[in-house]
């Protein structure tokens, strides 16, 4: 299950080994967009040659929330 609900978030833990500060404009992490591990051989081949990624802004994702960071979705 992927993060696809309106209230789901991608988070990162930041641990400092000495005194430091993070300001609102600082970039402290990055992520990678990749094809699903469950993709078929042909989907992977197509992704390899045609991996143009376009973002689309929406008001609602139309999917159920995953219930928080690291959740299995079961209660």
Q: What is the mean pLDDT of residues 47-52?
A: 79
Residue 6 has what pLDDT? 75
Name residues whose C-beta falls within 8 Å of residue 53's C-beta, 6 or more positions apart in sequence. Answer: 33
Please give the structure tokens belonging to residue 65.
Answer: 């929330």
* E-strand stretches of 19-68: none
Note the helical H segments in the chain.
41-49
The C-alpha atoms of residue 7 and residue 43 are separated, in whole angstroms, by 29
| Cβ proximity of 4 and 66 under 8 Å | yes
- Name the band, by pLDDT with cuts 50, 70 and 90, for residue 19: very high
pTM: 0.36
* Residue bearing the bigger pLDDT, 65 or 48: 48
With 60 as the cut, is the pLDDT of residue 74 above it? no
Please give the structure tokens belonging to residue 20.
Answer: 């430091």
């Amino acid at each position: 299950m992927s993060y696809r609900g309106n209230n789901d978030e991608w988070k990162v833990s930041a641990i400092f080994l000495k005194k430091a500060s993070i300001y609102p404009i600082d970039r402290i992490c990055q992520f990678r967009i990749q094809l699903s591990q469950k993709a078929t051989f042909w989907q992977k081949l197509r992704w390899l040659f045609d991996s143009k990624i376009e973002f689309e802004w929406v008001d609602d994702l139309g999917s159920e929330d995953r219930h928080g960071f690291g959740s299995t979705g079961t209660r």
